[in-house]
Amino acid sequence: MGYRSQGAMVVAFESLADMKEVLAVYRLDPRVQKHNPFVSGEHAEVGTECWQFETWDFGDESYSPWYLMRLDFSDWKWYESYEDVQAFMHIADVCKQFAQERLDFSYAYRFVRGGEDGDDTEELSYGSDTPTSHSMVEQLEDALTMRIENSIDDDLEQYTTRQDPSSLGLGNINPSDVTRKTKENDNVNT
């Protein structure tokens, strides 16, 4: 059966254009193409355990919304050596690359994970070196935390709205002829 984890990964972008640029590069990675993290796995409900797209409007019309990619996972074998997990984690590398190449690129990354053992928790937060990014990281840290008993405090949902990728102009990133493999060597759901 193996050791299982639950958690969430959220990437926030200042603009939809930034998110689209990152996605264009992210989707070129062979692990992303093989495991298609935009489609629910064979054992998951449709629309779960894959990237979801949201807008975050803070409940205040004076701010422009941020655009989020979000993964919520439960009962996964979350080992960084597994290729299917690497497909999800690759988004952080792409964002770091953009931040190094463009000084005005603002993003925030938040990852929380808790394992079966109560003291096995992991929390990561970072972003680019812009004032907007610093604010984004702070907001994500406040909204999404892992409690010691491995339950996730998720205040992020209060001000986010789930978005259909096509309504954001992302095209058909969930092609019906592509499914995530869940064979024995594809480890997330086995």
For residue range 35-56, list pLDDT tens digits in order.
989 887 655 555 567 899 999 8
Annotated domain spans of the chain = 5-168
Exposed/middle/buried for residue 151 (C-beta within 10 Å: 0-12, 13-18, 19+): exposed
Listed residue (105, 128, 132, 136) closest to 18, CA to CA:
105
Listed residue (70, 71, 66, 69) closest to 55, CA to CA:
66
Q: What is the pLDDT of residue 165?
A: 78
What's the rounded Cα separation, in Å, for the pair 141 and 134? Answer: 11
Residue with token string 């010691």: 148
pTM of the model: 0.77
For residue range 109-134, list pLDDT tens digits in order.
999 998 888 778 889 999 999 999 99
